[in-house]
Amino acid sequence: MSLIRTILGFVILLILIHVALFYVNIGAGANTVTQAVYSLGELLESPAALLLNAVPALQQYLNPNSFFTVALTAVGLYLVLYLLLGIGKKG
């Protein structure tokens, strides 16, 4: 369980780095590292984009075409999974 939680923690961190790079306007083609962060970020954010486009009730409150909406929704979903994996853990 702890390996999965560690991987989810790195996924959350990668998406937040992707958001930060987008916010400070560093393009995907700046170097190899930013290209990798952008491509992995888009790949890991795709389930959140699918969820936002599939549920019409969410579209009243959230814009599924906004980068920040999709990215922060993905962070929220991965954070929920991270927390759910730690609930049944015995000390």
Provide the residue ranges of all domains of the chain, joining segments of one domain with +.
Answer: 2-87
Whole-number Å distance between alpha carbons of 59 and 42: 20
Confidence of residue 87 (pLDDT cuts 50, 70, 90): confident
The predicted pLDDT at position 91 comes to 61
SS3 percent helix, strand, coil of the chain, rounded to 5, is 75, 0, 25
DSSP output for 14-50? HHHHHHHHHHTT--TTSSHHHHHHHHHHHHHHHHHHH
Confidence of residue 2 (pLDDT cuts 50, 70, 90): confident
Q: What is the pLDDT of residues 43-57, one digit of tens each?
A: 999 999 999 999 999
Is the model's pTM score more than 0.85? yes
